[in-house]
Every structure is written in structure tokens, then in C-alpha cells.
A and B are shown apart, each in its own frame.
Chain A
Amino acid sequence: MSPLLDVRNLHVAIGDTCVCRDLSLTLEAGQRLAILGRNGAGKSTLLSVLAGLRPPLAGRIHLRGIALARQTPHELAKIRGWLGQQIGDPFASSVLETVLTGRHPHLGRWDWEGPEDLAIAHRALAAVGLSGFGSRHLSRLSGGERQRVAIATLLTQAPQLYLLDEPLAHLDLNHQIAVLELFSTKARTENIALALVLHDPALAARYCDQVLLLHGNGDSETGPAATMLDANRLSRLYGHPLTRIDADGRTVFIPA
């Protein structure tokens, strides 16, 4: 069986800035990939290329053995979900309405959301700790609550590959851990795969088994988390010396 995500010789650029050249990686069901790099290194751009939202300069991306470019947006939406960075909503919609939009790929053209879709949406809200928020308006929520609404929408979409651009943005510590626990449990029990942009190498070490480092000049490194998350490599990545500390079986990296 072909891997969930298969990337070969990918070349991505924004304007004159090269994000990656000759990037190859595979992601199997159940695997969790962390993408690390400095601001502006192109982490978000790479993720939206992997999601099929913008074309790469060169290279090929296969999703479950089929080229990304040969699948319609509708087919793609059943396989992969994408969490973007927050933008405002000019029209006030309720939390439940927003979360139900995740059911779109599963509904026929003339279908309306039924009781099953509602049940899925309520379960997703409960999973991010927003039970009872259904009728609240999005404009009345805090940034962190809105981020959790976006995550609940993604859960409602129920894809097999989750591409998360800064899923922890605006979240406080307890919710950061809760969200990462939620996704890593899903990876274990439901065999989904995960690629996420993170800012904290310690969280990558704790929750991911694969790591992709984007150096910002087109160079990239991929490998198992244990090899990639090394103090020297990360010091070079961020351009700032880091010290690795192991305590209570967890790893943290402290900037000098």
C-alpha cells in the first residue's frame, strides 16, 4: 500500500526566496511530522503546497498514491484537512455554523446538515473543550477560543492527513498540551497522519516522531525526531545557541 503522503524532489519558492529544493519525504498513517524553522523560512508556504492550495515550482506530491494535482478540491477535502493561520470573519456566524462547515466535503450538492452531522460537530466542540459554545458568535470569542473553533471544524471534516499551520497559536499552556494530546491520540487510535508547524522543539520532541527542519535558504533536513532534535542542529537552525536539558524523562531546549 502506498504511503499517505509521498513527496519527491519538491521545489517551493515565494517570490525570490527559496523555501526548499529537492525535498523528499513520506508520511505513513499514524506518523507525526513537526516542521521547524525561523520566521519567514516558508513553513506555512510549504504546508499550503502540501495541502494543494498552491502549486510547487517542481517536484511531485502524491496523496495515497494519486498525484495531488489530479484530484479535485472535493476529493482532496475528504483525505486531507488544513488548518490555516487566523483571518477575521467579516460576517458574524455562530460557532456551531462554523464548525458544521467541516461537513461540506461529505454532503451532496442539495443536502443540508442532518442530525448525524450535528452530533459530529458537538463531539468536535466537546473535544476542544467548547461544549455549550455552539450558539455563541465568533466575534465574541477570544483568539484562543477561535483557534479551538478552527480545530473543531477540522475534526468535523475528519480527514486522514492533518496539515496544521501553527495549531498552538493563541492557546495557553494547558490548551497547547490538550490539543497535542488530542491529535497524538488520534494518530495512535485512528491511524491519521499529522504534519504540524511548531515553534517549540521540546513539544516536537514530545509529540512527533519525524522532524523537518527548514533553514530558510532552501536547505532542509528530514529525519527521525531523535536525530534531528539535537542542540547543535537546532542552534544552527535558529541562529542562536541552545542547550539541551533532560529532566523527568522529557527534553527541553533552553536558549543561551
Chain B
Amino acid sequence: MPARRRALFALLCLVLLALASLGAALMAGSLALGPGEALSALLGHDDSLAGEVVRGLRLPRALAGFACGGLLALAGALMQVLLRNPLADPYILGISGGAGVGALLAMLLGASALLTSGTAFCGAFLAMMLVFGLARGAGSWTQPRLLLTGIIVAAGCGAAITLILALAPERQLPGMLFWLMGDLSQALPPAPDLIALVVVLAATLPFARELNLMAGGMETAQALGVAVGSLRLAIYFLASLATAVAVTCAGSIGFVGLLVPHLTRLALGNDQRLLLPAATLVGGSLLVCADTLARTVAAPQQLPVGVLTALLGVPLFLFLLHRRPA
């Protein structure tokens, strides 16, 4: 049981890690900058090319990456508690599938980037309401039923995505594939994502101890004084909203939402009071680092960041799963 002081210390270290990852993102690239140069460019003491590159290109992209990574990790941690399933991730209930269908349809019709993001968000929202409505049905809302409904809706969206890819003209395919793999080079301004991150974290943190109890079982949690019915509704919508915002910004970046909560849990334990903010910081930092790699490793070619998170994530996750005592 981490005492409050230990938790605050761990969070302080993670805040420093996050700042370091953002700093590295500002310095790295075809125009390499030292820490001092990057700082002065960031603070606007520099009207040269460096200032424009740092303030105009790298900072928004790094912030968007941080916000998306944080939102996905937070949504993943919440979904794992909500479904009481360690294999749950933000995409398991079909939200990214819905967003994918929306985004690809818009691309097929030749819509602008902004409109594509709009339809992606609408698709995510529709998938969320569909899963919610179907899982609820006439009466109760059990975890297996919610999980199965979500997986089936996600599978349906997957089929629709494949259909759109089959029908799409060849010149549109690269853009669509980049979107599906997750890509921050087309990211919109980061303000909505940062706001969503703060809102979702601020709304869930006061209930973190209740979430600890919910992870142990719904009825036990209710017997210990948790208003389970309303809390899990709120968690479902907050986690879905976080996922929808992240996917709208950068496509369906894989593995952050599954891997980061597990990594954080292994390092710091399963107390949601520490796990939720810690996973948010780790997820944000990890995606910023992965994106910095994605745009520098094969420069001038940019790799989709989702490929890098998956390439890092798959072996790491298999290792953790293998190491874990039965």
C-alpha cells in the first residue's frame, strides 16, 4: 500500500520524465538544437528559423502526442477496471473502429483533414452509444455482456474498414493506412486534447479509491459503500470520451492503452489513486518519445507512430506476460 508521500514522490519523478521527453522532442529533428537553443527558441527570444520550427511545428506536435498518449493510457486503465479484465484496452469496445469507419468514409469522399476529424469523432460517438444501448438491453448491464457487445461492434467496424479500403482508389490508400496505424504528423492543434486530458483525470481522481474497490468485484464494492451503478456509467463515458478525443487527433495508435497501465501497475502497484495519474504521465511520455523516434529514425521519411508503439509494445508485453506468475 503506497503511502501518500511515496505516491507523490513517484508522481514527481514521472512529471520530470514527462518534461524530459517533451524537451527531447523539441531538440531532435533535422534541425538539431541544444537544450539552451531549444529553450530560447521556445521562449520566443529567437525569431530565426529555430524559433519557428520549435514553436510552430515541434511544440504543438509534442503536446498533441503527450495528450493522446495520456488519454489512451488513462482510458486503458479505466477500461481494465470497468471490465475487470487485464486484457481490456481503450479500443476493445469498438470506439476506435467507429472512428476509423467515420474517418475513412470522409477520406473516401475527399473531405478535408478537419472534416475527417469531425466524422471520426462522430463515428466514435456512434459506436459508443451503440455498444451502450445494446449492452444495456432491457435490464442489467453485466461485464461479459458489455465486453461481448463491444467486441462484436469492433469486429463489424473492422469489416467495414476493410470494405472501404477495398473500394478506395489507390492514391488514397497511404493516407488511410497512416490514419489506421496512428500518426501525429497530421495532428490538429493540441488544445482540445489537453483540455480533455485534464477534465477526464480531474473527474476520475476523486473516485480512485472507489475504483480500487470496483476492481475487486461489483457487489463487494457496493456493499462497501460505492454507488456502483452510477460510477460505472460515468467511467464508461469518460473512458470512451478520452479514447474518442485521442483517436480523433491521431488515429488509432496501438498498444499505449494496453501496455502502459500494465507497465505502471508492475512498477507501482494497483492502487488507482497512484495508477491513474502515473499511467497518464507514462503514456504521454512514451508517445512523445515514440513520435520523436518516428520522425527522426528514417528521416526525411516519417514513420507512423502507431507502428513504433506496436513494435516496442508487442515484445515488451509478451515478456511481461511470460514473466508474470500464474
Interface residues of A (CB under 8 A from B): 48, 51, 53, 72-78, 81-82, 84, 87, 89-94, 96-98, 100-102, 104-105, 107, 109-110, 112-113, 139-140, 157
5 nearest interchain CB pairs?
A77-B225, A82-B223, A74-B225, A105-B225, A112-B4
A89–B217 CB distance below 8 A: yes
If the complex has contacts A77-B223, A113-B1, are A107 and B209 also in contact, measured as CB distance less than 8 A? yes
Q: Which residues of chain A have C-beta atoms less than 8 A from B216's C-beta?
A: 89, 93, 98, 101
Contact of B270 among A77, A92, A112, A140 (CB under 8 A): A92
From B3, B85, B212, B224, name the one whose CB has the most chain A CB atoms within 10 angstroms. Answer: B224
The answer to whether B37 has its CB under 8 Å from any CB of chain A is no
Q: Which residues of chain A have C-beta atoms less than 8 A from B213's C-beta?
A: 101, 104
The answer to whether B215 has its CB under 8 Å from any CB of chain A is yes
A90–B85 CA distance with the chains assembled, in angstroms = 6
Q: Which residues of chain B have C-beta atoms less than 8 A from A105's C-beta?
A: 224-225
Contact of B84 among A72, A90, A110 (CB under 8 A): A90
Contact with A along B218-246 (1 / 0, CB 8 A): 01101111111000000000000000000
A73–B227 CB distance below 8 A: yes
Q: Which residues of chain A have C-beta atoms less than 8 A from B273's C-beta?
A: 112
A100–B270 CB distance below 8 A: no
- Complex interface residues of chain B between 52 and 94 (CB less than 8 A to chain A): 80, 84-86
B270–A91 CB distance below 8 A: yes
Which chain A residue has the least Cβ–Cβ distance from B2? A112
Q: Which residues of chain B have C-beta atoms less than 8 A from A113's C-beta?
A: 1
If the complex has contacts A92-B270, A112-B4, A112-B273, are A84 and B220 also in contact, measured as CB distance less than 8 A? yes
With both chains docked as a complex, state the minimum distance between the C-beta of B219 and any C-beta of chain A, in angstroms.
Answer: 5
25 residue pairs bridging A and B, Cβ less than 8 Å apart: A51-B223, A53-B219, A73-B225, A73-B228, A77-B223, A82-B220, A84-B219, A84-B223, A87-B217, A90-B86, A91-B86, A91-B215, A91-B265, A93-B216, A101-B212, A101-B213, A104-B210, A104-B213, A104-B225, A105-B224, A107-B209, A109-B206, A110-B206, A140-B325, A157-B224
A82–B325 CA distance with the chains assembled, in angstroms = 31
Q: Which residues of chain B have C-beta atoms less than 8 A from A51's C-beta?
A: 223
Which chain B residue has the least Cβ–Cβ distance from A100? B1
